[in-house]
A and B are shown apart, each in its own frame.
Chain A
Amino acid sequence: MFWEYRLVLLRGLAFNAYVFLAAAAVALSVGLIAALLRINRAWPFRWIGTLHVEVFRNAPDYIMVVWVHFVLPLLLGAAIGRRIEFHPFVSAVIALGFVYSGYFAETFRAGIQSIPLGHIEAGRSCGMSEFLILRRVVLPQVVRRMLPEAINQFVSLFKATTIVSLIAVPDLMYQVSMVIQQEMKPLPLYTSAALTYFAVIYVVAGLVRLLSERWRNRIYA
């Protein structure tokens, strides 16, 4: 049964991967900005960063996906005076990207604050600009320190991509429910869907963890 529909289902799994990659890019960049705001010396920036983190870390993924898909276009449309609509894929990426940016912001912040102040002062005393210090001194160390934690969050993000089927992004779960509506056989299909996700997540996450440990040990020990 599962084998019969393998092409459709594989295409669905590819969609999971697209949503994941796009949302991960959004989450990483927004998360870094939020983390930098949060440790800024000026309090208005710090408050914005903290608000961002608290809102998105406490928001359920599903309500955010639905909110971005149904409410945000109306608000933006009212602002620019034109009717707009988001493609489900765009809504999914925005919503998941922003929700996970809250988690990534905390990971980045913990990483940045664990860098000894002396490294930053050393950079300053050599006459490096703040941006250059961030890029050359702080971030390379932060990335290595936060990798294990970040991988866990990437795994959660990938798992969260299954709910985009609810706003009709044609991912694996969506295709599976479509096939079930035709065939009326939930047992083999849902079971194999669960096993597929399990295999993909378990194997890929394990592999990535192994590689990242090797890389960390080589450069960072």
Chain B
Amino acid sequence: MGNWERLVWNQRGVLLQGLMVTVEVCLIAFVLAVLGGLALCLVRMYMRPLKPLAVLLTEFFRATPIFVQLMWVTYVWPEIFGWPNSFFTAGWVALGLQSSGYLAETFRAGIEAVPRGHREAGYSVGMSPVLVFGRIVLPQSLLTVAPSIVNQFTVIVKSSTLVSVITVQDLMFQALKLVNVWYEPIEILTATAGIYIGFIFLVSTAGKMLADMLRQRYGLAAA
């Protein structure tokens, strides 16, 4: 066990620092993904003239591999848009865009699952379309798709290992750096894999529990 202590336990500060960066990238990417997904989905469903654009973007984000998108955002966007100006930003932008494509489809399924009568009931008591959407359609569809949203967050965490390639100092980056310092990959990489598996397992279990709790409280237990 001496090796484990020397290579993993004594390096815990660095590894934890990496994990913090991973969490940070994932959270920012997740917020971007939810907002972007919602925007894409709303444009697709309610803004007729812009629909083809939204469909194209959604399909492009969904059908290109995350690694390709990451490289594209990191090295091509600065040339075209002059932004993102740091690798960290490029990392969360790429992760967020990919997931926003998936979430757009998820939200669409959720919104379409809300029965028409609920909307009509809202209109018949004189609510405005915005109010109907915000008070009736959105809350119900969010509850319906809550498990998929949690699932998408774990996908973001898994893909976030790739931002180490563009030198964002996440857990993967720190682990590979330690391997290059010590030339002893067994303990470091096994521990890193264990941390990732444990972390994602925890996140998905906690997320599922939260989603179930919310659904039960607001009366979607049967779904």
Instruction: Tell whether, in the assembled complex, residue A54 and residue B201 are in contact, meaning their CB atoms are under 8 Å apart.
Output: yes
Q: List the B side residues contacting A61 at CB < 8 Å.
A: 158, 161
* Interface status of A62 (Cβ within 8 A of chain B): yes
* Interface status of A64 (Cβ within 8 A of chain B): yes
Q: List the A side residues contacting B72 at CB < 8 Å.
A: 190-191, 193-194
Number of chain B interface residues as a range: 35 or more
Binary interface encoding of chain B residues 66-82 relative to chain A, with 1 for a CB under 8 A from any of its CBs, else 0: 11110110011001100
Instruction: Tell whether, in the assembled complex, residue A197 and residue B161 are in contact, meaning their CB atoms are under 8 Å apart.
Output: no
Q: Report how far A161 CA is from B67 CA in the complex, Å.
A: 10
Decide: A187 near B63, CB < 8 A? Known: A55-B197, A61-B158: no
Decide: A201 near B64, CB < 8 A? Known: A166-B165, A187-B79: yes
Instruction: Tell whether, in the assembled complex, residue B190 and residue A186 are in contact, meaning their CB atoms are under 8 Å apart.
Output: no
B interface secondary structure, majority: helix
Q: List the A side residues contacting B7 at CB < 8 Å.
A: none
Binary interface encoding of chain A residues 177-206 relative to chain B, with 1 for a CB under 8 A from any of its CBs, else 0: 100100000110011011001100110010
Decide: A198 near B64, CB < 8 A? Known: A59-B193, A63-B161, A63-B196: yes
Q: List the B side residues contacting A27 at CB < 8 Å.
A: none
- Chain A, 120-174, CB within 8 A of any chain B CB: 155, 158-163, 165-166, 173
Instruction: Tell whether, in the assembled complex, residue A197 and residue B65 are in contact, meaning their CB atoms are under 8 Å apart.
Output: yes
What is the CB-to-nearest-CB distance from A168 to chain B, in angstroms, rounded to a whole number? 13
* Interface status of A58 (Cβ within 8 A of chain B): yes
Instruction: Tell whether, in the assembled complex, residue A186 and residue B76 are in contact, meaning their CB atoms are under 8 Å apart.
Output: yes
Interface size in chain A (residues, C-beta < 8 A):
38
* Interface status of A18 (Cβ within 8 A of chain B): no
Chain B CB count within 10 A is highest, among A60, A155, A177, for A60
Q: List the B side residues contacting A180 at CB < 8 Å.
A: 75
Instruction: Tell whether, in the assembled complex, residue B186 and residue A74 are in contact, meaning their CB atoms are under 8 Å apart.
Output: yes
Q: List the B side residues contacting A66 at CB < 8 Å.
A: 176, 189
Q: Report how far A31 CA is from B165 CA in the complex, Å.
A: 30
Q: List the A side residues contacting B201 at CB < 8 Å.
A: 54, 58
Q: Report how far A66 CA is from B171 CA in the complex, Å.
A: 14
Binary interface encoding of chain B residues 159-203 relative to chain A, with 1 for a CB under 8 A from any of its CBs, else 0: 111101100000010001001000001100110110011001100
Contacts from B to A (Cβ < 8 Å): 59-60, 63-69, 71-72, 75-76, 79-80, 154, 157-162, 164-165, 172, 176, 179, 185-186, 189-190, 192-193, 196-197, 200-201, 204
Task: Supply 9 A–B pairs (Cβ within 8 Å), ascending by A.
Answer: A55-B197, A71-B189, A159-B66, A190-B72, A190-B75, A198-B59, A201-B64, A201-B65, A202-B63
Knowing that A70-B189, A186-B71 are A-B contacts, what are 20 other residue pairs whose CB atoms are under 8 Å apart, sorted by A's residue number?
A54-B201, A58-B197, A59-B197, A60-B158, A60-B159, A60-B196, A60-B200, A62-B162, A62-B164, A63-B196, A67-B189, A162-B65, A162-B67, A190-B68, A190-B75, A194-B64, A201-B64, A201-B65, A202-B59, A205-B63
